[in-house]
């Protein structure tokens, strides 16, 4: 029986709608942003061609570098919290417990809930007078905190002394947003880790039990290596999402300049502020290209450094 050959032109015909959608909503905005970044672009459209001036402005913009530093702090705290808490919960849910299906659903609910609704709820939780966070601190006899308006760094607050800029750490306001966003994305990452855990053959654990291994030894030598592809995926996605954070900052701390003394101002918020509040579309586009290059560089670095340590198969 002869196989019927597929006409390649027919395949291209089926791909045309997808190519158009990707071209219009993906590649065209990127090319448009690159073009806009080379102009002094305002409300009236493209103005004077400035070449790389918008990119050079980045080097001298103190608010940009504050936003960049805040984004780094946000990412540095979000990644380990996301990895460890998600994996810990996934390991618990991987056991045979009563009502496990309900628990999995509960953990996933924040993922499908609107970020606007969640931000408003957490803004109430962080309220300095009637918020749940300070109520719980009161039960532990800890003084209340100004969660979303505290500009001092957390290491400064812990040590109760003035520290150099690079040792202050993120502000309490920024850390409050980190806690909320980690909680928001927890369900998705738990499901990913749970899929990785359930993909491990039980034969490995049975062999380890026969050899007398248990507890942390089993996790270190079996579980951790075999879920390394899953961990690598969560690491990469969390890094990308962390650098693109915007909505919680805008909704919970908001203008001007991203919360108390700009300590929650992140790159995407700074981009938004310049492009849409000050009509500096050219400069905003330059920031977007810079952000794209940073994320691309980190992704390549992770693939070069981390991926060789991943155990596939």
139-185 per-position pLDDT tens digit: 999 999 999 999 989 998 888 888 777 788 899 999 999 999 999 99
Say what the pLDDT of residue 7 is.
73
Q: What is the CATH number of the domain that holds 290?
A: 1.10.3720.10
Q: What is the DSSP letter of 211?
A: T
Percent of the chain with pLDDT over 90: 61
Q: Taking the model in full, what pTM does it have?
A: 0.90
Supply the range of the domain harboring residue 174: 61-309
The count of domains in the chain is 1
Say what the pLDDT of residue 5 is.
59
Say what the pLDDT of residue 6 is.
65
In a domain, 56, yes or no: no
In a domain, 27, yes or no: no
Q: Which two tokens stand for residue 78?
A: 């979000």
Q: What is the DSSP letter of 161?
A: S
In a domain, 213, yes or no: yes
Query: Is the confidence at residue 251, as pLDDT, over 60?
Result: yes
- Per-residue pLDDT tens for 33-50? 999 999 998 777 777 898
Query: Is the confidence at residue 243, as pLDDT, over 60?
Result: yes
DSSP annotation string for 36-66: HTTB--BTTB--SB-TTHHHHHHHH-HHHHH
In a domain, 25, yes or no: no
Say what the pLDDT of residue 309 is.
87
| Spatial separation of the C-alpha atoms in residues 79 and 242, rounded to whole Å | 8
User: Would you place residue 4 in the very low, low, confident or very high pLDDT band (cuts 50, 70, 90)?
Assistant: low
- Per-residue pLDDT tens for 136-146? 999 999 999 99
In a domain, 240, yes or no: yes
Q: Are 205 and 218 in contact (CB under 8 A)?
A: yes
């Amino acid at each position: 029986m002869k196989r019927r050959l597929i006409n390649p032109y027919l395949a291209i015909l089926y791909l045309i709608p997808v190519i158009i959608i990707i071209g219009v909503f993906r590649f065209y905005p990127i090319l448009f942003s690159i073009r806009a970044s080379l102009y002094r672009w305002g409300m009236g459209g493209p103005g004077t061609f400035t070449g790389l001036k918008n990119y050079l402005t980045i080097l001298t913009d103190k608010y940009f570098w504050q936003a960049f530093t805040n984004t780094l702090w946000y990412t540095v705290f979000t990644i380990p919290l996301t990895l460890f808490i998600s994996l810990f919960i996934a390991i618990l849910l991987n056991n045979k417990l009563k009502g496990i299906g309900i628990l999995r659903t509960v953990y996933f609910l924040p993922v499908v809930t609107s970020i606007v609704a969640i931000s408003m709820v957490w803004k109430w939780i962080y309220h300095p007078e009637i918020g749940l966070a300070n109520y719980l601190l009161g039960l532990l006899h800890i003084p209340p905190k100004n969660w979303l308006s505290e500009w001092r760094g957390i290491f400064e607050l812990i040590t109760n002394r003035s520290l150099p800029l690079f040792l202050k750490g993120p502000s309490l306001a920024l850390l409050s947003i980190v806690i909320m966003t980690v909680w928001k994305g927890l369900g998705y990452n738990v499901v990913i880790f749970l899929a990785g855990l359930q993909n491990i053959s039980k034969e490995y654990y049975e062999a380890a039990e026969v050899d007398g291994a248990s507890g942390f030894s089993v996790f270190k030598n079996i579980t951790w290596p075999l879920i390394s592809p899953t961990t690598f995926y969560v690491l990469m996605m969390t890094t990308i999402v962390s650098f693109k954070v915007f909505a919680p900052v805008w909704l919970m701390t908001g203008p001007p300049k991203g919360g108390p003394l700009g300590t929650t101002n992140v790159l995407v918020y700074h981009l938004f502020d310049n492009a849409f509040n000050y009509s500096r579309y050219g400069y905003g586009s330059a920031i977007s290209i810079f952000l794209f290059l940073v994320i691309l560089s980190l992704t390549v670095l992770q693939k070069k450094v981390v991926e060789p340590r991943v155990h596939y198969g």
